[in-house]
Structure 1
Amino acid sequence: MELSCKSQYAILALLEMATHYESGEPMQIRQIAAQQDIPDRYLEQLLATLRRGGIVKSQRGSKGGYLLAREPWKISVFEILECLEGLDIKPGEDDTNSKSVDSSIVDEIWQEARQAANAVLQKHSLQALCQERDSRRQLNIMYYI
């Protein structure tokens, strides 16, 4: 499994918005795009999808832009990916009568893998990603003599 470009760009944009969350000021698309090196037009589409999913909200006007709809610690990576990619945490239909034993075994393993991946994604919030980023930046700033 791989993270799509769409999801990666969305998470980067949301990290930028989470960094500025405390100010309460909306961020404009071109500002986010420049900071995270995301094409403006593509980011516009992503933010529209995230707005429909209730992850961000938009504010109109000359000082308008986009803001997180909730606190960064209340938005999980899973929720972001679910909004963009349509992840499904529910188990599939249990139709064991029409499936072969081999097929059922493969389906069960895949379901277990999906549940484990979903649990990891639900555990990490935007706030946790921001904190991890900040601690790694601190390590990069340190130098030794």
Structure 2
Amino acid sequence: MQIRQIAAQQNIPDRYLEQLLATLRRGGIVKSQRGSKGGYLLAREPWKISLFEILECLEGLDIRTGDEDTNPKNLDCSVVDEIWQEACQAANAVLQKYSLQDLCEKRDSRRQLDIMYYI
């Protein structure tokens, strides 16, 4: 699709969308095609692109999952840090579990529910 089409469909400013797509292109999520029929398309199949990968590309996620700080300032900080790491690992697991294809399928199934008529 072309940037204008995507921007209009998603109600996103063109300039902002250009920045997002440039970042996604550098991250290998999308690729661009020049020419009159040019635009952006996925670089891989949608089931091979995880939500974690997209967010990592766009937001630069750097979620700690190891023991980087082996010398914590105090006991309180180490307890909070352990819980934070557990929360990050759980978030990573959820984001890695779902693909772009999963999002599309969830959207489509909800659309089907919206068009059902009940008597």
TM-score past 0.5 threshold: yes
Aligned to 2:28: 54
Kindly tell me the number of residue pairs found equivalent between the two proteins: 119
Kept in 2: contact 1:96–1:104 (CA 8 A): no
| Paired AA for residue 73 in structure 2 | K
Kept in 1: contact 2:72–2:78 (CA 8 A): no
Match of 1:72 among 24, 46, 67: 46
Q: Gapped runs of 5+ residues in structure 1?
A: 1-26
**Which has the bigger relative contact order, CA under 8 A and spacing at least 6?**
1
Aligned equivalents of 1:119, 1:92: Cα separation in 2: 15
Residue 129 (structure 1) aligned with residue 103 (structure 2): yes
Percent of aligned pairs with the same residue?
Answer: 86
Aligned equivalents of 2:73, 2:66: Cα separation in 1: 13
Kept in 2: contact 1:28–1:65 (CA 8 A): yes
- Which secondary structure state, in structure 2, belongs to the residue aligned with residue 91 of structure 1? coil
Residue 98 of structure 1 deviates from its aligned partner by 4.3
Aligned equivalents of 1:97, 1:88: Cα separation in 2: 20
Deviations 1:31-81 (A, max 9, x none): 111111111111011000100011000011111110100000000111000
RMSD of aligned C-alpha atoms? 1.3
Aligned equivalents of 1:98, 1:46: Cα separation in 2: 37
Aligned equivalents of 1:105, 1:45: Cα separation in 2: 39
- The alignment's TM-score, normalised by the length of structure 2, stands at 0.94
Residue 132 of structure 1 deviates from its aligned partner by 0.3
| Paired AA for residue 94 in structure 1 | E
| Paired AA for residue 61 in structure 1 | G
Residue 91 of structure 1 deviates from its aligned partner by 2.3
Match of 1:106 among 80, 83, 89: 80
Aligned equivalents of 1:62, 1:84: Cα separation in 2: 28
